Structure 1
Amino acid sequence: MARRRLSEAIRWQIIGGMHATGASFKAIGRQLGYHYTVISRLVRKHRQTGAVKDRPKSGRPRVTSEREDRALLRIIRREPFSTSTVLKRTWLPNRHLSTRTVRNRLKAAGMAARRVIKRPRLTDDHKRRRLAWCLARQRWNLRTWRRIHWSDESRFLLHVTDGRLRVWRHRNTAYTPRNIRQTVPFGGGSVMVWCCISHDCKLDLVTTRGNLTGDQYMRHVLEPVVVTHFDNHHLPQDPCTWMITPGLIDPGQ
């Protein structure tokens, strides 16, 4: 039978009241309904520690060692998208561990299953070119930036299966490359959307079904939208000059 515990209020009542008045352990036990040994242990604990609370219990022994826990973290660093069910089989295949044990070990290491950040796949060449672009313009002033027109196109999938995916990671590491699920554009029915903005204007939104080819880009975007926009702004030069420079159109057209 489990031992009946003394509440903290009753413990202080025994120490500060009954025992202080000279009552015996047996008399206190009879009055409160406890065996006198319970009262004597409480008084002895108070004399030794000055407290009446129980010491922390050791609890249930761990089923894994620190070395095994480190092995789990190595697996997670290699395969951060693994579920706790998969980890249970690959971590210690000869041990009968629960998925809760796996999650507890990862949480103890400061990790949690969080939503995966998805970003377009970037090759090393993409990264080098983006960095070079930024470095070449790092000293531009606000007046220069306000003259820039920003354009971009994006594909919106009409039919996509996007199941929720979680990744085991530490806090503030969402954008660490190994924690990002890279996506590949296109696939399935889609609509391509193009737009251009600047500091003081916004061009018309252009939408096309399917792929936006070079010819479609000229007929649906550059000629009717971009060229018209710059022509209306009375540029001191031919409105197509800025497109010829980067090789967007053939100068002979």
Structure 2
Amino acid sequence: MARKRELSSETRQSILVLRNEGNSMREIAKKLKISYTGVYYSLQRTAQTGSNQSRKRSGRPRCTTEQEDKYIRVSSLRNRHLTGPQLTSSLNSTRKTPVSTSTVKRRLRDSGLQGRVAKKKPCRTNEKMLEECLTPSVKHGGGNVMVWGCFGAGKVGDLYRVKGILNKEGYHSILQRHAIPSGQRLIGANFILQQDNDPKHTSKLCKNYLEQKACDWGITHKATAKQDYTKITGLVVQERGVFLSNSGLLGASPDGTVSDECIIEVKCPWSVKNLTVRQAAAEKGDFFLQLDGESGSLTLRPTHPYWHQIQGNLQLTGASTCHLVVWTLSDLVILPVLKDPTWARNIDVLETFYKDIFLPKIL
């Protein structure tokens, strides 16, 4: 049963006054809206003690002795970094019945010792500035150093110190002076540059520079690809210049012709220069060739820009076939692409676009 709230001193005094006026205990209980037993025990206590105050209670016996209380206090003063649980564990190691951490904290408060978080800097208030109440700290600082570096083939390349904030212009300079030269020195001309998607890396300035390197790669090795094509097929590649449409508004410049009915288009993809063509088609989802899983044959994707480039060349040159030559450092594939008669309607569309939209914008 829950313990009921004690009667206040004012209520006890009111009971005594009403009783002296001749009211019965039930009448007093009714007037003050308290229980009959409360009135009875209040009057009985007043008669026995001569006061309307509560009797002094014995309370629960202390679970620690004076010697243990002194041990708690002295241990805390000797090492102010000891926590309540640590003091409790130390005390309980010598007792049969353990005490709680709350009990130890009460003994500390009774001794005037309060729990505090150790300061890392002295504070001129009370004991906070005492050495035993402080936590040592080490100050660091003095600036920082940012460097750019690279590695490959078990070796390290240039290490460049970046001064200030590195922006796209600074990274473009690093690509020119350190990244590309280091790659060529460590691995060779066919190295692959790997980097994350940092905004500086994906900026137009840096992407265009790397794409220009890919264009330079294609231009540099196109002659080699043509020579390998001639060795394999025995066909001689002739340079023919630009072929114009009937209106003269559109032009096509294939990489060469081998007959009136056949032209060639050479591709030397930089991104897969170390792979075979079939590996590139199988591993790179955006490659312009697709590999048939059943037959193992290679075909040019009809949605790729190269498809439209070749069909445009076929329409304007009048040839019926284009030999698509795909060259890498380890492979060469010759893929015939036939003229698609339905693509011819794009000629009129392109000429209309040129006359009605493009030309007025530049005049």
**TM range, smaller chain:** 0.3 to 0.5
Report the TM-score when normalising by structure 2. Answer: 0.32
Identify which of structures 1 and 2 has the higher relative contact order when contacts are C-alpha pairs closer than 8 Å and 6+ apart: 1
Report the TM-score when normalising by structure 1. Answer: 0.45
Query: Larger C-alpha radius of gyration, 1 or 2?
Result: 2
